[in-house]
Amino acid sequence: MDFESVFASRTSRMKASEIRELLKLLDRPGLISFAGGIPDASYFPAKQFGAAYQEALTAETAGTALQYSISEGYTPLRRWLAKEMAKLGVTCTEDNIMITSGSQQALDYLGKMLLSPGDTALINWPTYLGALGAFNAYEPRYDKLTVNGNRSAADISAAAQAEGGRVKFAYLSADFANPTGETVDRRGRENLIDMAEELECVIIEDAAYQSLRYDGEVVPPILALEIERKGSIEECRTIYCGSFSKTLSPGLRIGWICAAQPLVSQMVLLKQAGDLHVSTVNQMAISKVAETHFDTHVSTLHKVYSERRDAMLQALEEMMPKGVQWTKPEGGMFVWLTLPAHIDASELFKVALETENVAFVPGHAFFADGSGKNTMRLSFSCADAETIREGVRRLSKVVQEAL
């Protein structure tokens, strides 16, 4: 059977993730890896989850926990999330929230909901690789998102129309973004809302790392700023995508969207058609753990990850040769390095792995056009301070030799 002959045209843009292929190389003794962007498994609240599953599976509630449930998501969990959102300035009810299979599914469904082939998606250069993966299936054109007012909405719109579509959304992670670790300031967020108004498009706010702020001034979510302007979430064009994957656990696959009700209603239709609903028992379990342990657990993560970030920034400062620049993230899991233009980070990756047993992710995969060859992403989430220091020492040596 020649399956290629029956595949839809959209599959031509769905390629194997280069990063995933790279990660397969990383099962080596003594390797120090700054590559994977995942939480440190040793800090998962395993005991609390154990107790939560036991409680969900008692005789009284097991019939509910193991049964089909509504596509919107488990109501007590949506209520808890609505309260959490309110703390961030996003006044809403559970009817503004739908539970997704991680924020990755929110991105997939939003692409499916919004993008006809040839429509334009505004994204950062670089951007989250998983967003490119999700959106690619719906055959968009990408254009560069700027939040500094450098380009007029009219120009952006005209460029989209010239390609036969229109601007459907601006996608960004505004807090400690994957891969750069950078945060969009309040002014940038306000500019973005202005631009979206002019473009009559929606804003997809990927807030996967938002809870992981270690220092610096708190900036309200874009959705909160829009509600501040307009008085109600029902007037807003921003779709907030949240996730428990970077806080409580990615293994349950639970995220959420928060938006105006007509948008949520359409998402519920996509969820029904897509996979009916998120695992009932998982929603019940995470609801219990979130209600009782979210804040204390996130505090623990702040302490652990901020020490690791500090260790990485200090080691870079001490050891990295001149001519290399990097971001100073106020949260999240990533530092982004820019090497001198003549250094190809993919080539450097091979050398680093072979000669120094240290790994990172070459940056070009995060660019929709494959540019950014002299960039790399370092994650500090999964190594202790001492290991980070040794890893940066190894990496600095490799960079020095490539200069």
Tell which positions 178-237 bind its own copies, by CB under 8 A: 200-202, 235-237
Question: Which CB sits closer to its own copies, 122 or 352?
Answer: 122
Site string for its own copies, 274-293 (x = CB under 8 A): xxxxxxxxx-----------
Our finding on whether 150 is near its own copies (CB under 8 A) is no
Give the separation between CA 391 and CA 199, rounded to whole angstroms: 45
The DSSP code sequence of 150-167 is -S-HHHHHHHHHHTTS-E
Specify the residue, 64 or 357, whose C-beta has the smaller distance to its own copies. Answer: 64
- Among candidate residues 68, 104, 72, 42, the one with its CA nearest the CA of residue 254: 104
- For its own copies, which stretch binds (CB under 8 A), given 59-67, 77-85, 184-192, 294-302? 59-67
Contacts of 139 (CB under 8 A, 6+ apart): 9, 10, 13, 115, 117, 118
Cβ closest to its own copies, residue 113 vs residue 385 = 113
Q: What's the min distance (Å) between Cβ of 254 and its own copies?
A: 8
Residue ranges in 301-360 that form contacts with its own copies under rule CB under 8 A:
none
Nearer to its own copies by Cβ, of 213 and 277: the residue is 277
Task: Choose which of 96, 101, 124, 127 interacts with its own copies (CB under 8 A).
Answer: 101
Told to check if 159 binds its own copies by CB under 8 A, we report: no
242-271 positions binding its own copies, by CB under 8 A:
245, 249-253, 260, 262-263, 266, 269-270
Residue 88 neighbours by CB distance under 10 Å: 18
Task: Work out which of 33, 96, 105, 327 binds its own copies, going by CB under 8 A.
Answer: 105
CB of 341 to its own copies, least distance (A): 32
Q: Which stretch binds its own copies (CB under 8 A): 36-44, 171-179, 356-364, 394-402?
A: 36-44
Listed in sequence order, the residues at least 6 apart from 191 whose beta carbon sits closer than 8 Å to its beta carbon are 147, 148, 149
Regarding beta strands 141-144 and 97-100, do their DSSP bridges make them parallel or antiparallel, or are they unpaired? unpaired
**Token reading at 227:** 């509600």
Site for its own copies in 16-35 (CB under 8 A): 16-17, 20
Q: Judged by CB under 8 A, how many residues of this single chain contact its own copies?
A: 86
Q: Which is nearer to its own copies, 201 or 313 (CB)?
A: 201
Kindly tell me which residue out of 21, 27, 30, 42 binds its own copies, with binding defined by CB under 8 A. Answer: 42
- What are the tokens at 70? 């509504």
Answer yes or no whether residue 138 interacts with its own copies by CB under 8 A.
yes
Copy the structure tokens of residue 318: 């001490």
Report how many helices (DSSP H) and strands (DSSP E) the chain contains, helices first: 13, 13
How many CB atoms neighbour CB 185 within 10 A?
Answer: 13
Radius of gyration of the chain (CA): 21
Strand partners, 255: 100, 243
List beta partners, residue 170.
122, 203
- Contact characters 63-82, its own copies, x per CB under 8 A: xxxxxxx-------------
Q: Which residues contact 353 (CB under 8 A, 6 or more apart)?
A: 25, 28, 31, 359
Residue among 202 and 312 whose Cβ is closer to its own copies: 202
Minimum CB separation from its own copies for residue 354, in Å?
Answer: 25
d(CA 62, CA 47): 20
Q: Which is nearer to its own copies, 113 or 402 (CB)?
A: 113
Q: Is 46 in the site for its own copies (CB under 8 A)?
A: yes
Q: How far is the CB of 279 from its own copies (least distance, A)?
A: 5
Q: Which is nearer to its own copies, 102 or 179 (CB)?
A: 102
Nearest distance in Å: CB 331, its own copies:
20
Closest to its own copies by CB, 25 or 57 = 57
Query: What are the DSSP E strand ranges found in 179-265?
Result: 202-206, 238-243, 255-258
Amino acid letter at 216? G
Report the C-alpha gap between 23 and 17 in whole angstroms: 10
In angstroms, rounded to a whole number, what is the distance separating the alpha carbons of residues 332 and 342?
29
Interface characters, 112-131, with its own copies (x: CB under 8 A): xxxxx--x----------x-
| Contact status: 368 vs its own copies (CB under 8 A) | no
Q: Kindly provide the b/e burial profile for residues 263-298, where b requires at least 16 CB atoms within 10 angstroms of the residue's own CB.
A: bbebbbebbeebeebbbbbbbbbbbbbbeebbeebe
